[in-house]
Amino acid sequence: MTERTSRAFDGTTLSPGGDPRVFPAQRMANPLESGAERDVVSVVERYKEIAGMAAESVDRMRRHDQERASVLDRALLESQERMARIADQERIVRLGVALHWEAAVEALWDERWMTMSPQPQPDETVPDHDQLHFDGEIERTYRALEDALQKRGLIRRKRD
C-alpha cells in the first residue's frame, strides 16, 4: 500500500496507515443498480429545480420592482404637479407684490421730500407661514399706507 489513501474491498477508504475507521466511503448514486430502490435526484433535475426557484425569485423581484416603480411614478407626478402649482403661485405673488409696490410709489409720488428706491429683494429670513398670511400682510401694509396718506396730519401733501 502506498502512503496515499486507497479503497478497501468493502468500500471504506483506508487511511495512509491502512486503518479503515478514519474515512467512510462516499456514496455514489448509481442509477444502473437494479436492486436499489432509491429516490435519487439526478444532477440535471436538481439544476432544473434550482434554476426554477431562481426564475421564480427573479419574477417576484420584477413584480415588486414594477409595483414600487408605479408607486414612485405616482409620487413623482404628484410632486411635479405640486411644484407647478407652487411656481404658478410664486409668479402670482411676485406680480401682486410688484403691483402693490407700484401703487405705493404712485401714492407717494407727490411727496417730493421722500426718495424712492427700487423694490427691495424678498426677505427670505422670515419665519415660515402660509402664503395667505403673507398676502394678508401685504394688503394690510398697503391699506395702512393709504390710510396714512388720507390723514392730512401725518403726511402733508402739496397741492398744485
32-76: pLDDT as tens digits:
555 444 556 788 999 999 999 999 999 999 999 999 999 999 999
CA quadruple 5, 6, 11, 17: dihedral sign: negative
Q: Is the pTM of this model over 0.85?
A: no
Q: Cell 409595483 identifies what position?
A: 67
- Residue 23: beta bridge partners? 13
Q: Cell 419574477 identifies what position?
A: 59
Rg (CA), the chain: 44
